[in-house]
Structure 1
Amino acid sequence: MKVQLFKYWDALRTSFWFIPAIMVFGAVVLSAVAIQADHLAKGEGWLASGWVFTGGPDGANAVLSIIAGSMTTIAGVVFSMTLVVLSLASSQLGPRLLRSFMRDPPTQVVLGTFVATFLYCVLVVLTIRRGDEDAFVPHLSVTLGVLLAVISLGVLIYFIHHVAISIQANQVVARVGHELIDVLERLFPETIGQGPAGESASAPDAAFLRRFDREAEPVCSSGDGYLQFIDADALMALAVRDDVVVRLECHPGHYVVAGGPLLRVWPTGKRGDKLAREVNAAFALGNQRTSGQDIEFALYELVEIAVRALSPGINDPFTAIACVDRLGSALCRLATREMPSPYRHDSEGTLRVIAPSPSFPTMLDAAFDQIRQHGRTNVAVSIRLMETLVLITAFAHRPADRAAILQHAEMIRRGAWLSFAEQEDREALEKPYRAVKQALASPAP
């Protein structure tokens, strides 16, 4: 159940209707409150201030009708501008970045402002009454409608500025880089299922792991799609309830096929239809990857921008270098984090869940492999990759991480010597390469 809530919340965040719907509801409430205030004051007290609308029914109807008509026109313009931005982002930077643009709160608030102002004016117009005895003009409500129109004008000016800024490549890269850092901060270090603080999540003996491989039974998926979320608490509760050990066979970001194993259960004989339904309920599948629990997806968004920038049709190495800088910033943080143990214990210290998690070398491969392969003929990109490795080395302290950094430095250097035609370009790459070697030869921080 919890993973479904996560899935629906992620879908709401990337929709254009959720925040506008909330603002429309707020407009309905505001119109009701303003009209009630007009009824209570009978209009007399407000007219003395000099700032309140003082016209009659026809004037109030005309003012609100003009505002409502203007809001529909402006809302159409804003929707058109938004679609143009989405089209440019999809073609130039990659279709997977559309979620980032659709999740942009300022755009959602701007759309909601115009729709809410339109609805507010329509609701107030409906309360205007003409006649000698029962005439009613909501002076305060009309004045508030004029104020909302002025605010909407300011919002339109802000939106034009926001669109002009948001489609700049460096701004897009910076926004995606900040999202990557947010995902990293949320996912590392991982603490699910480790019981009380200070309890060691030690690995079981090798004999148990071999027995698990031989005897564990799979629990299969009931559907197809990309794994978006896993309810780790639910899996831990199931394992404790049935007194079993489970091992995940996939992690967020993997594509799951119906009938393929989601996890394996040991001891045998405890698998059943009820367990299969409960396990499937703890896994949320979707049509695309998301960054909720998938840090590789957040990395690949920056990698996609860099690879597209290095394509012959675009040929923009400066955007690729900006992506490398953001990736380096995330990897420096990741190198300082303790990787979560795959062995998760319950509150009594009993092993219940085996959940392999991404490692730093895996993340380094995901971040640099494709950029290195597509940018091997570009001197500036290759040099920046090597300089970023120098920077990451200062934060890496695990031997496996430092070995992965050296491996990437060697691959970049070999690619450069095969691709660079000028000796001076090769020598320019040798300087940061020697810096990597020297940093790795020093004791780990």
Structure 2
Amino acid sequence: MKKIINKIRTSIWLYPTIYSLFAFVLSISITIIDKTYTDESLNYVNELFYTTSSLAQAVLSIIAGAFITISTFTFSTTMVVLTMYSSQFTPRVVENFLNNKTTMKSFGIFLSGFIYAITSLLFIDTNKDGNLVIAASVGVIYIIVGLVYFLLFIHNVSTHIQASDLISRLHEEAIGEIEKYTNFAKESEIISEVKLEKIIDKKNFIKIFARSDGYIQEINYQRLKKFAQRYKCIVCFKKVVGQFVSTETRILIIYFEGFEDFTEIVLNELHQCILIGNKKTQAQDFSFTIQKIVEIALKALSPGINDPNTAVHCLKIMGVLLRNLANIEKGYIILKEQNEFGFIIYEAFDFEVLLYDAYNQIMFYGQKDVSIVVAGFKSLRFIKAKASQNNREIIDEYAKHVFNKRENKAFGKLEFSKIQKEFNDLLNF
């Protein structure tokens, strides 16, 4: 059910379907008013809004033509934007444009406006002379709203195709998810691998494997916690959101004392807490948003685009994002109340892995560009400013790894001095 809801929520047809149903109902309602309650409605609505049926027919014909023209232009523009997103940035950011509410609401207004106009035309009775209707006035209001949304759509497209605006929106999305994770980690206890072994020592266990191939999209931790409390067991989740699993992959282990019969119904309840799909989502996975920024930087460094300034900007944004994760520690998070029997343990994000995934490809493909190497060291300095002692050592080790690989490159004396200065400033920070 969760997978179906997510598919509906991210579908391009959600708003057009809702708005079109509303337009159809509105058309029928206006028709009923025009045919049955015209005299009564004159007491509440100014007669200025009433027109003859023949004039209404002409106006609604114009409105229907206008809406279908706007819809055609909108869909054509959207296809161009999606092609540009895929070729110039990364295919992973296409859904960011499609999931934008302004874009989807614009589609809904344009299609529903056409449906209202064409349906009202169907119901209008032109046989009676002097027959007054309000359908045309409602259609005029509809087209005015449609034109406003058309301007919003154009403005939306003009801002969304800018790399800086796209990176800024990805930054805001990632910051929100990172704050949720760091706040949750602060409220919970993080234990080491050694302490975890002591907790699960001498307990019976059962391994749970994934039921389908794909990426872990979401984990319902609260529901898992209730499951652990109900069956007085420890649910140990040794995967993080965003990882790819197969049917042969062990995703979690249930630890319990004594004898416990976990039937197929019970295990099915457990699997319902884990959403696995054929693609990554950013619902709980801030690393996926960071990956999008990395891919934008890599596209900018490609010979076909050759836009190093965008890559430098991406490095700065990644430094700001990972700065908020610089004090997390490697280990396992325990989700339990005090003196509570039956809880869950799941793997925390590893800062070293996040750092490597964020910087390695950019530093590799940009190793011949001094501005990229220098920007990389400056970005690492942002992270080090708020890093824990252990993570500071990880940053220094990675910086040494990057510097040693670049040291042998054919840089001039001035270029190499800039790199060395930033490297030394990072180590001495």
- Change in Cα spacing, 1:163 to 1:395, as seen in structure 2 (3 Å) is same
Counterpart of 2:253, as a letter, is R
1:239 aligns with 228
Per-residue deviation, 1:27: 2.4
CA distance in 2, matches of 1:53, 1:339: 70
SS in 1 for 2:104: helix
Residue number among 111, 118, 137 corresponding to 2:114 in the alignment: 118
SS in 2 for 1:216: strand
CA distance in 1, matches of 2:287, 2:312: 19
CA distance in 2, matches of 1:108, 1:256: 32
Aligned positions of 1:25-424 closer than 5 A: 25-32=21-28, 34-35=30-31, 38=34, 40-42=37-39, 44=42, 50=48, 52-54=49-51, 56-132=52-128, 136-139=131-134, 141-190=135-184, 205=195, 208=198, 211=201, 216-267=205-256, 269-270=259-260, 271-335=262-326, 341-346=332-337, 348-350=339-341, 352-396=343-387, 398-424=388-414
CA distance in 1, matches of 2:61, 2:254: 66
CA distance in 2, matches of 1:395, 1:201: 19
Per-residue deviation, 1:296: 1.6
SS in 1 for 2:325: helix
Q: Greater shift after overlay, 109-118 or 356-365?
A: 356-365
Aligned positions of 1:1-40 closer than 5 A: 4-5=1-2, 7-32=3-28, 34-35=30-31, 38=34, 40=37
CA distance in 1, matches of 2:201, 2:253: 12
Per-residue deviation, 1:351: 5.9
CA distance in 1, matches of 2:281, 2:175: 15
Kindly tell me the number of residue pairs found equivalent between the two proteins: 424
Q: Is the 8 A contact 1:226 1:254 kept in 2?
A: yes
State TM-score, norm by structure 1.
0.86
- Change in Cα spacing, 1:31 to 1:424, as seen in structure 2 (3 Å) is same
Q: Is the 8 A contact 1:236 1:346 kept in 2?
A: no
In percent, how many aligned pairs have the same letter?
27
Per-residue deviation, 1:353: 1.7
- Change in Cα spacing, 1:62 to 1:282, as seen in structure 2 (3 Å) is same
Q: Is the 8 A contact 2:190 2:332 kept in 1?
A: yes
CA distance in 2, matches of 1:244, 1:387: 47
Give CA deviations for 1:342-394 in whole Å, capped at 9, x if unaligned: 22324533362220110333222221121111111111111111111222222
- Change in Cα spacing, 1:205 to 1:289, as seen in structure 2 (3 Å) is closer
Counterpart of 1:106, as a letter, is T
SS in 1 for 2:347: coil
Q: Is the 8 A contact 1:416 1:426 kept in 2?
A: no
2:417 aligns with 427
SS in 2 for 1:217: strand
Per-residue deviation, 1:250: 2.0
Counterpart of 1:406, as a letter, is D
- Change in Cα spacing, 1:414 to 1:381, as seen in structure 2 (3 Å) is same
SS in 1 for 2:123: coil
Per-residue deviation, 1:36: 5.6
1:443 aligns with none
Per-residue deviation, 1:167: 1.2
State TM-score, norm by structure 2.
0.89
CA distance in 1, matches of 2:221, 2:383: 31
Counterpart of 1:431, as a letter, is K
CA distance in 1, matches of 2:183, 2:295: 26
SS in 2 for 1:377: coil
Per-residue deviation, 1:339: 7.8
Gapped runs of 5+ residues in structure 2? none
CA distance in 1, matches of 2:4, 2:240: 19
SS in 2 for 1:238: helix
Gapped runs of 5+ residues in structure 1? 440-445
Counterpart of 2:97, as a letter, is F
Q: Is the 8 A contact 1:344 1:352 kept in 2?
A: yes
Q: Is the 8 A contact 1:113 1:152 kept in 2?
A: yes
Counterpart of 1:430, as a letter, is Q
CA distance in 2, matches of 1:417, 1:181: 34
CA distance in 2, matches of 1:113, 1:426: 57
Q: What value does the CA root-mean-square deviation take over the aligned residues?
A: 2.8
Per-residue deviation, 1:91: 1.5
Q: Is the 8 A contact 1:189 1:340 kept in 2?
A: no
Counterpart of 1:245, as a letter, is I
Per-residue deviation, 1:235: 1.7
After TM superposition, which residue ranges in structure 1, 4 or more long, deviate above 4 angstroms?
Answer: 32-39, 43-50, 199-207, 336-341
Per-residue deviation, 1:45: 5.3
